[in-house]
Amino acid sequence: MESPPVRPPADPPTATALKLFVVLNRALAAVQAHALADIESQGLTEGEFAILEALYHKGPLLLGDLQRRILVSSGGTTFLVDRLEKRGLVERQLCPSDRRARYAVLTAEGTALIGHIFPAHAESIRRAMSGLGLADQRAAITLLKTLGTEAEALPIEAL
Amino acid sequence: MESPPVRPPADPPTATALKLFVVLNRALAAVQAHALADIESQGLTEGEFAILEALYHKGPLLLGDLQRRILVSSGGTTFLVDRLEKRGLVERQLCPSDRRARYAVLTAEGTALIGHIFPAHAESIRRAMSGLGLADQRAAITLLKTLGTEAEALPIEAL
DNA sequence: TCGCGTTATCTCACTACTGAAATAAATAGC
DNA sequence: GCTATTTATTTCAGTAGTGAGATAACGCGA
C-alpha cells in the first residue's frame, strides 16, 4: 500500500497561509510549555489560572465576560468557577442589575495565591519570549492582533 | 470582599512578552475556529486530521515521527492511529530495521478522504489568514519561527 | 556476549473540558 | 402588558486527550 506523498499547494497565498498556521501552532505550543510548568507546579490548570489572573487584573467579572476573556465554553466557565469556589479562592456574587448574572470575585485567599504566583509566571513568559528582541516582539504583536481581529470578524464558513 | 485590580507589570520587557502571549493565544484560537469547522464537518478530530495530513504530504511515518509532528502525547498518538485504523483510513506496518517501531501508512480509502478534504481546508486557512497581506504573513512567519525555535530550545525552568 | 541506559510503542486510569439542552430572567415589539 | 426573542448561567453525559508506568527491542562498551 504505497502512499506517494502529495505536494502541498504551491500557489503563494495558500502555501504562505498554511505555513503561517504551522508556525503559529508551534510557537504557541513552545511558549505554553513554559507557562504550563509554573502553573501546574501550583496545582492549577491553565483555565483556573486564567480565571484567577483575569480577576486579579480586572477585578470582579461577570461569568460571561470571564468566558469571553479566557476562551473557554460556557459549561467550562461554570465548572472552573465551581472548582475555584470549592477551594475558597473565588466566590460568586449576585449582580444587582441583572438577576440572571453572577460576578466572580477573588477571595482574600485567592488574591494572595495569584499575587504570589503571578510574578514568577510573568517572568517565565518573558523568558520564553526572549528569543525575540523587544522591537520584534512589538512587531509580532501588531501582526497577530490584526490577524486575530480579522479572523474573529470573518464568518465561519460551513463546507 | 473587594478585589481592587492590580496593575499588570509595567516594565517593558515583561509587559510586552505578556501582551504577545495574549495575542498569540487569541490569533491561534480565531484561526483554529475556521480550520475546525471543516475538519469536524467530516467527522474528524483535529488530531486525526493532523495525522492524515502528515501522511498525505510526507508519506509513511514512524509513530514517533508522527508524534513530534502533530504535537500530541505518545499515548495520544497510539490512540489516534488506533481510531484511524479501525476506520480503515490508516494501517500500521512493521519497520524492517527496527522491530520496536511501526509505520503509519494511509490506505487507499484514507488517501481518498484526505485528498478530498485537504483543498477545502487549505482554502479556509487561506481565508482565515487573509486579514494579513502576503508580505505581512511572511514577516509573521519569520518572527514566529524564531520565537518557536528559541522557546523550544530553552530548558523548561522548574519554579 | 553480557549488561545497561536508551528508545519506540502501548496500556489504562484519569481529567479537563465540550456542547447541547434546560432554566430563568431581561428585553423588544406590538 | 403580553408574547417572542435573546441573553446569562447551569447541568450533564460524553470525549479527546494526558501521563505514568509497562514492555520490548536496540546498541554501546566492557
Asked whether the beta carbons of residue B27 and residue A145 sit closer than 8 angstroms, the reply is yes
In the structure, what pLDDT confidence band is assigned to residue B8 with cuts at 50, 70 and 90?
confident
- Let me know if residue A8 belongs to a domain: no
Average pLDDT, chain A: 92
- pLDDT, tens digit (0-9, with 9 covering 90-100), for A71-116: 999 999 999 999 999 999 999 999 999 999 999 999 999 999 999 9
Contacts of A54 in chain B (CB under 8 A): none
Asked whether the beta carbons of residue B33 and residue A156 sit closer than 8 angstroms, the reply is yes
Instruction: Look at residue B5 and tell me whether its pLDDT is greater than 90.
Output: no
Which domain range does residue A72 map to?
29-129
Q: Considering only A8-12, B21-25, B145-149, which range has the smallest mean pLDDT? A: A8-12
The whole-number average pLDDT for the span B15-20 is: 96
Tell me the C-alpha distance between A118 and A110, whole Å. 12
In the structure, what pLDDT confidence band is assigned to residue B31 with cuts at 50, 70 and 90?
very high
Of residues A18, A56, A131, nearest to B6 (C-beta) = A56
Asked whether the beta carbons of residue B55 and residue A3 sit closer than 8 angstroms, the reply is yes
- pLDDT, tens digit (0-9, with 9 covering 90-100), for B46-68: 999 999 999 999 999 999 999 99
Nearest-CA distance A47 → chain B (Å):
13
What pLDDT score does B4 carry? 63
Tell me the C-alpha distance between B146 and B158, whole Å. 23
- Let me know if residue A151 belongs to a domain: no
- Let me know if residue A114 belongs to a domain: yes
Q: What is the DSSP string of B101-122?
A: -EEEEE-HHHHHHHHHHHHHHH
- Let me know if residue A34 belongs to a domain: yes
- Take residue B24 and report the three cell numbers written for it: 498569540
- Take residue B43 and report the three cell numbers written for it: 467527522
The whole-number average pLDDT for the span B77-85 is: 96
Asked whether the beta carbons of residue B157 and residue A91 sit closer than 8 angstroms, the reply is no
Domains: count for chain A: 1
Q: What's B99's domain CATH number?
A: 1.10.10.10
Instruction: Look at residue B144 and tell me whether its pLDDT is greater than 80.
Output: yes
- Half-sphere exposure of A54 toward its Cβ, with a 13 Å CA cutoff? 25
Q: What is the DSSP string of B30-60?
A: HHHHHHHHHHHTTT--HHHHHHHHHHHHH-S
Contacts of B151 in chain A (CB under 8 A): 27, 30-31, 33-34, 128-129, 131
Let me know: does A103 contact A87? Beta carbons within 8 Å. Answer: no
Whether CB of B46 is under 7 Å from strand D: the answer is yes
- Let me know if residue B60 belongs to a domain: yes
What pLDDT score does B37 carry? 87
Whether CB of B64 is under 7 Å from strand D: the answer is no
Asked whether the beta carbons of residue A137 and residue B16 sit closer than 8 angstroms, the reply is yes
Task: State the count of interchain CB pairs (< 8 A) between A and B.
Answer: 268
Q: For residue B105, give the amino acid letter.
A: V
- Let me know if residue B3 belongs to a domain: no
Q: For residue A1, give the amino acid letter.
A: M
Q: For residue A37, give the amino acid letter.
A: A
- Let me know if residue A79 belongs to a domain: yes
What pLDDT score does A157 carry? 78
Instruction: Please calculate the CA angle B116-B117-B120 and round it to the nearest 5 degrees.
Output: 110
Of residues B5, B8, B143, nearest to A59 (C-beta) = B5
In the structure, what pLDDT confidence band is assigned to residue B3 with cuts at 50, 70 and 90?
very low
- pLDDT, tens digit (0-9, with 9 covering 90-100), for A2-58: 446 887 777 889 999 999 999 999 999 999 999 998 899 888 999 999 999 999 999
What is the largest distance, in Å, between two alpha-carbon atoms of chain A? 66
Q: Closest residue of A to B58, CA-based?
A: A5
Let me know: does A60 contact A103? Beta carbons within 8 Å. Answer: yes
What pLDDT score does B148 carry? 95
- Let me know if residue A4 belongs to a domain: no
Which residues, including other chains, have CB under 8 Å from residue B61's CB and lie 6 or more apart?
B54, B55, B69, B103, B104
